[in-house]
Structure 1
Amino acid sequence: MNKHPLLTLALLGLTLSACSKAPEPAASTALPDFQSEALAQHIRTLASDEFLGRQPGTEGETRTVHYLVEHFRQLGLQPGHAGSYTQAVPYMQVTNIGNPKVQLSGSPSGWQPEIGSDLVISSRTGQTQVTLEPSDIVFAGYGVEAPEYQWHDYAAFDATGKTVIVLVNDPGFASQDPALFKGPEMTYYGRWTYKFEECARQQAAACLIVHDTEAAGYGFAVAQNMMQRAQFDLADNSSEKTPVIGWLSSTGAEQLFASAGLNFQALKTAAHQPGFQAVPLTGHQLSASIELDVQTGRSDNVLASIPGSSRADEWIVVTAHWDHLGAIATEEGELAIYNGAIDNAGGVAALLEIAAKAQQQGGFERSVLFLVVTLEESGLLGTKHYAANPTVPLANIVANINIDALLPVPATRDVWIIGLGQSELDDVVRRQAARQGRVVAGNPEVEKGFFYRSDQFAFAQVGVPGLFMGPGTDSLSGGTAVGEAALQATQSRYHTPDDTFSEDWDFGAMLQDTQLHYGVLEELANSGQWPNWSKHSEFYQLGLQRRLP
């Protein structure tokens, strides 16, 4: 069994030669303008209550997919999948029925974790009843096996059948040591998805991640919502799964460790030291029972294309995810709708307007696929399905330009590249940003691992360079003080019912960023460039296997 996902991916690429960098293109005419009302109209519609939060498998999806298909048809774009504007994504939907039952044995004080506040758990095995027999509990630090960093938290113990507790993020973030992993910048080893995947490879019976707001990049409420609402997986996902997965609050972790006579904070500090060895919570066992409703169904990616004029077999793929979190009934019996105006009706609006402008301009030398994907909020499942079932050969995809969560903040002098330094796409952005009078900055929130949390990552996992951008914080109307305040105001709405559209939005940065995405697309689609990954990127070896121009 190969336990190293990134190394495994490197063997999956097509047998292709290393790519050469094309000369920088000559400057062209001014970038086209985009209109705020055109963006607003899409967002106003997609983020309205009538679309019910755009949850896959609901009436909200039906309305969303219809809207997208009809818009592409009206623009005159070609269907992107065998004569159809949709690509079916078979999924499994799993929802807890009531609260799981959890029992901690061995606690001298009799302390028990409270479901909801201390602990949230679920399962994605596809079974309707999941039982965790009394299982020894082990703290495995960050739960990482990373040979390229000489790190192996599972080296000193066998996790088979155990309840494994791990920390979110990775040792580099915790230590802030630039020589450890990527220092404060999160690697994929820090993501919650990796933690569960590695626990499964280690054949653990349960995997619990200790939540920390700073290290995770979001509050415990996000983890609570994730476990308590419907969860999705690809129906044909045959990968191993840990039977019980979940999150511990920081307070819950401290109480649990104290019950076992351990100092959680001290162990947390020890866990980011090289050579850390797992620590058992001696005498403590966890058991659980989860009843689940399991449904299967299909959701849809929506895709449309503009054929290239002279290199039609070479493709640029522009993505945005249409899905959001749907609607749930509150304790008061009302319906809380997660409209997802910023995340990601705004990104879809930008994609649609870029598609309209590209069609009006008569297309480009290379072909362009506009891919609006489903199930991003459930782990990039729509994009992963596309990468496994591409409508054009992966070897022919030059790059992916992903548009996610454009922000309604004032225009800026700078632009973020999330994952700055990952690939030569950075140079394309710099040239196009300069045409706007803007400069490129790295996303300062590198600890949050945003590069691994949006759809370009699924393309990166198969070797295709992906780009993810956002506005900076140096506001034209007041510098960083205004820019940072505006950013914080929008971030407070993340994954809450407050992410709604308002007629008083400031479209300054959103218009800039839409124009910038178009400029990057235009340069790539009208040039011979085949951007490479940077040598220090974890995707570099995959990139070497891409086609020559």
Structure 2
Amino acid sequence: MKKHFVLPLLSAVVIIAGCGKAPEPSLSQNADGHQSTAQVEFQAEQLSRHIQQLASDAFLGRQPGTEGETLTVDYLVQQFQQLGLQAGNNDSFTQAVPYMQVTNIGQPQVRLTGSANGWQPQVGTDIVVSSRTGQTEVNLSASDIMFAGYGVVAPEYQWHDFAALDAKGKTVIVLVNDPGFASKDPALFKGEEMTYYGRWTYKYEECARQQAAACLIVHDTAAAGYGFNVVQNMMQRAQFDLANNQSAKTPVIGWLSTEGAEQLFASAGLDFQALKTRAAQPGFQAVALEGHQLSASIKLDVQTGRSNNVLAALPGKSRADEWLVVTAHWDHLGAIPKEDGALAIYNGAIDNAGGVAALLAIAEQAVAQGGFERSVLFLVITLEESGLLGTKHYVANPTVPLAQIVANINIDALLPVPETRDIWIIGLGQSELDDVVRFQAAKQQRVVIGNPEVEKGFFYRSDQFAFAQVGIPGLFMGPGTDSLQGGKAVGEAALQATQARYHTPDDIFTPDWDFGALLQDTQLHYLVLEDLANSGQWPNWSTQSEFYQLGQQLRQTRQ
């Protein structure tokens, strides 16, 4: 059955008799400055055809640098060309992103010395390790082990986990997330809401600054927001970095399971759980695992190559030098051989074929409506799954001046769940973009709430974060859980069912997908884009945001 969602008529359509042109939507500005236009319509078929194509087995999980990338990029360029959009990078629809690809050869060797009870970590079960230095062989020899709590150096929070011990040359064990989450103290960091200090990417960066020889993060499902299986899968496949990344790197990086950490600490006569509790308290000092050293040998296949961002431009009518950037990442995790020789394909239907499909549908609607007053860049990004690398490359090599970008609207992992009464803003309170969403969501009879899973740090896990790091306000919305069909019980169950597929071969398209929230959320993203692209607003970061000063600096360059 044809399923569609139609937004009520917001203002009259101006029809010019006898001109032979399609009518353009009239604009009306509300007292608060928000823009409204004529009706828009999105259909399930419009999204599903893109999702089914991008998430098909033929695309092999859309891993950068593979045939799956070639098929994906060709498909996206073709779609933009068919819409009549302009190339977004001079005369090209692509932007090359040089990368380094590193894959473990066989199973790394890891050995613990000094263990009082003879315990040894089992690679793949207790510990997973790799390296991103670009070397084909990395050896760690009898490196002293220390526990550095959350591995955080944050002057603004008066926190320094490395103050008591020198980490140079050592194996540093740290906890995932940050002290606020662990303590539940709202006055510590941001309380239960993860800060960037809680992300695994930060942990490795800080260990590198401390000149550690190895950095091992202790996994915890609640604190990380995903199971240990996600980490195990990640370390089995190719790891990526930008080829021109000259920042310092810790030679050995990896994860410990909670059980592995407990065994390791017990072998040193320490109580891991007690130390974990202490690590969340102000004044914690790093602890040495006396007499214990870790050795490791990792052989790696190192390749360099070029992946591609795909980008298209819709020029503005009256303020063409002011830009909105709409993003969605096209990459996923590729395919790995199973024991029977068949391929386990990580199709990534939800993450993020659905987001790309929404971006393409929004681009199609924007063209059909005749464009906006401001220009729009549709940017489909590579290497998001590897640490937002495609976006980091773009903001370092922008095709339009960063100071002229009004905001980034990022679309990631829209969920096939029933229509909802609510909509999440992930990072609610970060910027004035919240007000635009509230205004437009009200037209759908929806309310805006913050992401209830603040401990998972979703704001730092998708592409708007890379824009935020250079001062550009970024918006990242989620589906909500208050279902029109059964309330929160139904909505939360649907959310949990889809989250169970995260980064597994089960993230596939099936004919029974419910497109209710997908259509709602696609329309809301379009309405927010339309509002910003037809208004004179330059949304600010809130003064409480960690990105406020960056935003002020960017505004000064614009002036």
TM over 0.5: yes
Q: Distance in 2 between matches of 1:290 and 1:243?
A: 10
Q: Which residue of 1 aligns with 2:396?
A: 388
Match of 1:56 in 2: 64
Amino acid at match of 1:282: E
Match of 1:406 among 384, 402, 414: 414
Contact 1:31 1:515 in 2 (8 A): no
Residue number in structure 1 paired with 2:347: 339
Corresponding residue of 1:175: 183
Counterpart residue type for residue 508 of structure 1: G
Q: Distance in 2 between matches of 1:245 and 1:538?
A: 27
Which residue number corresponds to residue 286 of structure 1?
294
Structure 1 Cα separation of the partners of residues 160 and 139 of structure 2 = 29
> How many angstroms apart in 1 are the aligned matches of 2:80 and 2:530?
19
- SS of residue paired to 1:34: strand
State the Cα distance separating 1:332 from its structure 2 match.
2.0
- The 1:31–1:262 alpha-carbon spacing in structure 2 relative to 1, beyond 3 Å, is farther
Once the two structures are TM-superposed, the CA of residue 175 in structure 1 deviates from its matched residue by 0.4
Query: Of residues 383, 389, 393 in structure 2, which corresponds to 1:375?
Result: 383
Instruction: Report the CA distance between 1:226 and its aligned residue.
Output: 1.3
**2:228 matched residue in structure 1:** 220
Q: Which runs of 5+ in 1 are unaligned?
A: 1-21
Question: Contact 1:69–1:85 at 8 Å: present in 2 too?
Answer: yes
Q: Cα distance, 1:126 vs. partner?
A: 0.1
Aligned to 2:132: 124
Pick 1 or 2: higher relative contact order, CA cutoff 8 A, min separation 6.
1
Structure-1-length-normalised TM-score: 0.95
What's the CA shift string for 1:404-449, capped at 9, x where partnerless? Answer: 0000000000000000001110000000101111100100000000
- On the 8 A contact 1:30/1:435 being kept in 2, the answer is no
1: CA distance, partners of 2:85 / 2:35: 28
Instruction: State the distance in 1 between where 2:439 and 2:417 align.
Output: 23
Task: Please give the per-residue CA displacement for 1:385-422, whole angstroms capped at 9, x wherever unaligned.
Answer: 00000000000000000000000000000000000001
- Asked if residue 435 in structure 1 is aligned to residue 443 in structure 2, the reply is yes
Which amino acid in 1 is paired with 2:309?
N
Identify the residue that residue 304 of structure 1 maps to in structure 2. 312
Structure-1 separation of matches of 2:543 and 2:505: 41
Per the alignment, residue 270 of structure 1 pairs with: 278
Letter matched to residue 139 of structure 1: F
Shift of 1:25: 1.9
1:503-541 residue CA offsets vs partner (Å, 9 max, x unmatched): 110000000000000000001000111111111111010
Residue aligning to 1:235: 243
1:362 matched to 2:370: yes
CA distance in 2 between counterparts of 1:263 and 1:26 reads 57
TM-fit CA distance, 1:546: 2.6
- Aligned counterpart, 2:171: 163
TM-superposed CA distance for 1:28, in Å, is: 2.1
Q: Distance in 2 between matches of 1:420 and 1:31?
A: 28
In the other structure, the counterpart of 1:253 is: 261
RMSD: 1.0
Amino acid at match of 1:485: A
- Look up the equivalent residue of 2:318 and give its one-letter code: S
2:328 corresponding residue in structure 1: 320
Q: By how many angstroms is 1:362 displaced? A: 0.9
Distance 1:269 1:470 in 2: 32
Q: Distance in 1 between matches of 2:294 and 2:553?
A: 46
Name the SS for the 1:544 alignment partner: helix
Larger Rg belongs to: 2
Correspondent of 1:420 among 423, 428, 431: 428
State the match for 1:17 in structure 2: none
What's the % identity of the aligned pairs? 81
SS in 2 for 1:116: coil
8 Å Cα contact 1:31/1:519 also seen in 2? no
- Aligned equivalents of 1:26, 1:463: Cα separation in 2: 23
**Residue by residue, what CA displacement relative to the aligned partner does 1:151-170 show, whole Å, maximum 9, x if unpaired?**
00011111000000000000
**Structure 2 alignment gaps of length 5 or more:** 1-29
In 1: Cα distance, 2:122 partner to 2:281 partner: 31
Residues 174 and 215 in structure 2, CA contact (< 8 A), matched pair in contact too:
yes
Q: Does the Cα contact within 8 Å between 1:417 and 1:426 map onto a contact in 2? A: yes
Q: Deviations over 1:200-251 (max 9, x none)?
A: 0000000000000000000001111111210000000000000000000000
AA paired with 2:226? Answer: Y
What residue is the counterpart of 1:458 in the other structure? 466
Distance (Å, rounded) in 2 between the aligned partners of 1:211 and 1:360: 48
CA distance in 1, matches of 2:80, 2:294: 52
Distance in 1 between residues matched to 2:48 and 2:105, nearest whole Å: 38
Per-residue CA deviations over 1:288-325 (Å, capped at 9, x if unaligned) read 11000000000000000000011100000000000000
**How far does residue 23 in structure 1 lie from its aligned partner after superposition?**
7.1
Q: Are the counterparts in 1 of residues 35 and 530 from structure 2 also a CA contact under 8 Å? A: no
Give the AA of the match of 2:115.
Answer: S
Question: 1:102: which partner in 2?
Answer: 110
Give the counterpart letter for 2:499 in structure 1.
Answer: Q
CA distance in 2: counterparts of 1:410 and 1:489, whole angstroms = 12
Partner of 1:93 in structure 2? 101
Task: Report the residue type matching 1:433 in the other structure.
Answer: A
Separation in structure 2 between the aligned mates of residue 204 and residue 244 of structure 1, nearest angstrom:
9
Task: Report the Cα offset of residue 83 of structure 1.
Answer: 0.4
Q: Report the residue type matching 1:109 in the other structure.
A: N
Q: Distance in 2 between matches of 1:482 and 1:401?
A: 28
SS of aligned partner of 1:38: helix
Give 1:372 shift. 0.0
Matched, 1:535 2:535: no
